Chain A
Amino acid sequence: MPGLTGKDQVLTTYANKLASLDAPKGRSLTQDALRRLARNKAAVVSIAILVLIIVTAIVGPYLVPWGYAQVDWSNIRKPPNFEVGHYLGTDQNGRDMLARVLQGTQMSLIVALVATLVSVTIGVVYGAVAGYFGGRVDAIMMRFVDIMYALPYILFVIILVVMFGRNPVLLFIGIGAIEWLTMARIVRGQTLSIKEKEFVEAARAGGVKPFTIIMRHIVPNLTGPVVIYATLTIPEIIIAESFLSYLGLGVQEPQTSLGTLISAGAPVAEVMPWLLLAPALVLVTMLFCLTYIGDGLRDALDPKDR
């Protein structure tokens, strides 16, 4: 960029000098929070386990001897058997449980990730706009949220599925489009308090446009509650997905998800416990980890209110 005055050439060296050697980097609030998080043992262990689960779910399918849709005609409904490579046994159709659990975990994680992203994006923008502009805009926007709340989400998802057919992407969007409601309420509440801060007034007095104020001054200061709530939303979404799959509205065979696996394993738990135990253990571990991470993040981002 040449700049208005044309002095940029001379100034660049000066600016570079300031940016590099002469100006030590300050420690931002986020860095502070991460440091505090690193000191929280439960959270660190949870992160490690979660990362392990994620990596296994992504890499694992390439390493196991059986595919998740592959039928082993000689081993149907068999408990774990290390010799033929069915480490977690096989299901009623002779498919390898380990492969299926890995695939199911992968699917549940993707649903959780996409749905959380959708809900965070919509929720933050919606809530921040409603909170910042206030007055009538706020009233109308929040009444819409109230109406959406009153709508049972199962009904919403069923309508979506009936209209557009069964499609995992639709499922993600459907769940995300419901989960943002709470996020929007939380963000709106936070925005109401942040917009009264003097730095927002300073920006207004400086002539910064409303949308820029929201993006530059309000949204970054929402990090704490948003990150915390997002980590608590992930388990909620995994459970919602499990529930929908249980009802038969979720992912389609031969693909599977943790919820589908559990729903298939539950009725036969007494005769073939391995069908239930493996997916249930993964789900429970994941939910525990996410809860601990959420707790750790809350303490790290908001050291004042413990």
Chain B
Amino acid sequence: MSEKEPILKVRNLSVEFSLPGGGLFGAKKILKAVQNVSFDLHEGETLGIVGESGSGKSTLSRAITRLVQASGGESVWLGQDIQKMNSKQLLALRKDIQMVFQDPLASLNPRMTAGAIIAEPLLTHAPGIGKAERTARVAEMMEKVGLVPSMINRYPHEFSGGQCQRIGIARALITRPKLVVCDEAVSALDVSIRAQVINLLMDLQKELGISMLFISHDIAVVRHIAQRVLVMYLGEVVELGDAEQIVSNPQHDYTKKLIAAVPVPDPKVEMQRREVRRRMRREASAAA
């Protein structure tokens, strides 16, 4: 790890939601979505966050971008606590931290053209620039993410899933952010497109020197893109460490299971692994 101060420092971050119900007199039910999560993120680094559905990955990312309010702990971005920022500081944060979302089509407003979607962050964060320059920047960014600039006037429903996700990436990168949070950014794409988009993200990261928080339920994808991996289960961190090390030598049972769940494109190996999985399940039921 580098000696430099991390750009994002998360300490004991917790997020709680109060559930509806519980009655008029009963105690309010509280869902602890994220509990005591701590990690550092350095400049230019990619941290993968893995875990099954409902393990709190997305909530964690939304707490970091302050789309939901954290209930405890702190997340420090360049020396400032994100949870305590005023609206002006928050606007600056929104310029520095951008998100790429899971569903490529749902994350684009169906009534706006691709150009307008990509240009939107510029309207918010650089309102002074002229229309022509904005268009030029959008075109430049479209080229960078592998879209033809002449598609600028098309609407989201005229693009394929992969292209939509490229628009989403272009929108995230146009303000030149320091950190991009990819929330299941490739999960909705099919395998070949997924590889393209991941490679695109990696290339852009190298080119622009951005840091990335890459959230996925697929440990194989995370291993490919991230240097370090954080494994979450039921809102808590179960393992945090070097990506290769975690994959080759998982310490926690849950991580082992996650790795065992990844299919291998070789029938023989897959058969052996299925054997292992069955044995693990038998042991688990015997223990219970």
A contact set with B: CB distance below 8 Å: 1-5, 7-8, 11-12, 14-16, 18-19, 22-29, 197-199, 201-208, 216-217, 220-221, 223
Contacts and interface: CB of A to CB of B under 8 A. Distances in A.
Interface of B: 65, 67, 90-91, 94-95, 97-99, 101-103, 106-114, 120-121, 124-126, 128-133, 135-136, 139, 149-155, 157-158, 168, 171
**5 closest Cβ contacts across the A-B interface?**
A207-B94, A26-B154, A3-B130, A198-B107, A15-B135
Contacts of A2: 130
Contact of B150 (A3, A23, A204): A23
Contacts of B154: 24, 26
Nearest to B125: A207
Contact of A205 (B99, B103, B153): B99
B103 A198 contact: yes
B174 to A, nearest CB: 10
Contact of B109 (A16, A204, A221): A221
A135 to B, nearest CB: 13
Given A11-B133, A22-B149, A202 B111 contact: no
A132 B113 CA distance: 23
A68 to B, nearest CB: 44
A29 B157 contact: yes
Contacts of A198: 101-103, 106-107
Q: Which of A5, A26, A208, A216 has the most CB of B within 10 A?
A: A26
Question: Interface SS of chain A: helix, strand, loop or mixed?
Answer: helix
A79 B91 CA distance: 74
Contact of A3 (B121, B132, B151): B132
A1 B101 contact: no
B90 A18 contact: no
A36 to B, nearest CB: 14
A1 B127 CA distance: 11
A203 B120 contact: yes
10 contacts: A14-B132, A28-B111, A29-B110, A198-B103, A201-B101, A203-B109, A206-B98, A206-B125, A207-B90, A207-B95
Given A26-B154, A206-B94, A199 B129 contact: no
A237 to B, nearest CB: 28
Contacts of B121: 206-207
A48 to B, nearest CB: 28
B135 A208 contact: no
Given A8-B130, A205-B98, A223-B111, 9 more contacts: A2-B130, A23-B150, A26-B113, A29-B157, A201-B101, A202-B107, A205-B67, A207-B95, A221-B109
A146 B124 CA distance: 37
A15 B132 contact: yes
A7 B157 CA distance: 33
Contact of A27 (B111, B130, B158): B158
A2 B111 CA distance: 29
A304 to B, nearest CB: 13
Nearest to A194: B109
A262 to B, nearest CB: 41
B141 to A, nearest CB: 13
A205 B149 contact: no
Contacts of A203: 109, 120
A23 B153 contact: yes
Contacts of A18: 135, 139, 149-150, 152
A8 B132 CA distance: 6
A14 B139 contact: yes
Nearest to B126: A4
Given A11-B136, A205-B98, A4 B129 contact: yes
Given A23-B153, A29-B111, A202 B101 contact: yes
Contact of A206 (B124, B132, B135, B155): B124
Contacts of B102: 198
Contacts of B150: 18, 22-24
A4 B134 CA distance: 11
A198 B108 CA distance: 7
Given A3-B130, A15-B135, A199-B108, A207 B101 contact: no
A198 B153 CA distance: 21
B132 A207 contact: no
A205 B111 contact: no
B133 A5 contact: yes
B14 to A, nearest CB: 21
A304 B254 CA distance: 42
Contacts of A221: 109-111
A4 B67 CA distance: 31
A208 B130 contact: no
